[in-house]
Amino acid sequence: MLKYAMPLYEVKYCEEDEWKEISELDLMDTLYKTYKKVTPVIKKMMIGEEVETPYGIYRLKLIGGVQGGEHSELFAA
């Protein structure tokens, strides 16, 4: 049986030093306020890049000790 993992996202707000898990809805709300096209930004996150906005830095959450790329559980399917 195949297991599918939903992507999880994190943010580090401008004045803070630690990453906090956020919902996909919160991420999308911020991205739509910041970028004209959201899909290219999400693609960057899926390959492990961090995305900067006026509100903070966003990234795909680490899963199994590896962020994004071919080793992520997100790409296991």
Tens digit of each residue's pLDDT (9 = 90 or more) over 42-70: 999 989 999 999 999 999 986 654 454 44
Query: Which whole number is the average pLDDT over 6-34?
Result: 91
Query: Which whole number is the average pLDDT over 32-36?
Result: 94
Query: Which whole number is the average pLDDT over 13-24?
Result: 91
Query: What tokens appear for 15 in the block?
Result: 């004045």
pLDDT tier at 73, thresholds 50, 70, 90: very low
Query: Which whole number is the average pLDDT over 4-28?
Result: 88
- CA separation for the pair 1, 9 (Å, rounded): 25
For CA atoms 46, 31, 7, 19, give the dihedral sign.
Answer: positive
- CA separation for the pair 58, 30 (Å, rounded): 10
